[in-house]
Amino acid sequence: MPLSSPLPIPATNPTPLSQRTPPKRPHYAISLLKLIKTHKELSQLHSHLIKANLLTNPFTYNSLIKSYSRAGDPNSALSLFLDIINADSAAPDGFTYTFVLNVCAKSSYTVEGKQIHARMVKDPKRINTYSWNSLMGFYVKNGEDVWRVRRVLDGMRDPDVVSWNCLLDGYVKVGNLEAAQQLFDEMPVRDIVSWTTMLVGYADNGLLRNARHLFDGMPERNMVSWSVMIKGFVKAGMYKEALALFKEMQVSNVKIDKITLTTLLSACAGSGALDQGQWVHAYIDRHKIEVDAHLSTALVDMYAKCGKVDLAYSIFKDSKDKEVFSWNAMLGGLAMHSRGDEAIELFREMLSSGIEPNEITFICVLSACSHSGLVEDGLKIFNTIDRYRNVRLSKEHYVCVVDLLARAGLLQDALKVVKEMPMKADGNVWRALLSACHLYGNVEMSEYVGRVLLEMEPTDDGNYIVLSNLYASRNRWDEVGRLRKMMVERRVRKTPGCSLIEVEGVVHTFLAGDCSHSQSGVLRSLVDELIKQCYPLTEIGHE
pLDDT over threshold 70, residue 439:
yes
- Give dist(CA 260, CA 242) in Å, integer: 11
74 vs 365: which has the higher pLDDT:
365
63-66 long-range Cβ contacts below 8 angstroms, 24+ apart? 63/30, 63/33, 64/33, 65/96, 65/99, 65/100, 65/103, 66/99
Q: What is the pLDDT of residue 265?
A: 93
- 169 CB-near residues (< 8 Å, 6+ apart): 140, 197
Residue 60 lies in a domain: no
- 165 CB-near residues (< 8 Å, 6+ apart): 191, 193, 194, 197
Residue 34 lies in a domain: no
Summary mean pLDDT of the chain: 83
Q: What is the pLDDT of residue 299?
A: 96
pLDDT over threshold 90, residue 228:
yes
Q: What is the pLDDT of residue 13?
A: 45
- Give dist(CA 227, CA 274) in Å, integer: 21
The pLDDT-based confidence of 464 (bands split at 50, 70, 90) is confident
Q: Which of 319, 346, 372 is the last residue before a domain boundary? A: 319
pLDDT in tens, 295-304: 999 999 999 9
- Give dist(CA 430, CA 411) in Å, integer: 12
Q: What is the pLDDT of residue 438?
A: 80
pLDDT over threshold 70, residue 35:
no
| For residues 255-269, average pLDDT | 89
Strand 506-511 relative to strand 498-503, pairing = antiparallel
pLDDT over threshold 70, residue 535:
no
**Cα Rg for the chain, rounded, in angstroms?**
32
3-class state of residue 498 by DSSP: strand
| For residues 248-273, average pLDDT | 88
Nearest to 340 by CA among 143, 517, 348: 348
Residue 534's identity, in one-letter code, is: C
Structurally, how many domains does the chain consist of? 2
- 264 CB-near residues (< 8 Å, 6+ apart): 230, 242, 243, 246, 276, 280
Residue 64 lies in a domain: no
Nearest to 81 by CA among 44, 51, 41, 109: 109
Domain of 272, CATH number, reads: 1.25.40
Residue 517 lies in a domain: yes
Q: Which of 319, 341, 362 is the last residue before a domain boundary? A: 319
Helix axes 208-216, 192-204, angle to 10 degrees: 160
Residue 23 lies in a domain: no
pLDDT over threshold 50, residue 538:
no
Q: Are 302 and 270 in contact (CB under 8 A)?
A: no
Q: What is the pLDDT of residue 328?
A: 96
Residue 111 lies in a domain: no
Q: Which of 290, 319, 348 is the last residue before a domain boundary? A: 319
pLDDT in tens, 166-207: 999 999 999 999 999 999 999 999 999 999 999 999 999 999
Q: Which structural domain, as residue segments, surrounds residue 309?
A: 221-319
| For residues 509-534, average pLDDT | 67
0.85 cut: is pTM over it?
Answer: no
Residue 147 lies in a domain: no
pLDDT in tens, 322-340: 999 999 999 999 999 999 9
pLDDT in tens, 342-371: 999 999 999 999 999 999 999 999 999 999
- Give dist(CA 358, CA 388) in Å, integer: 8
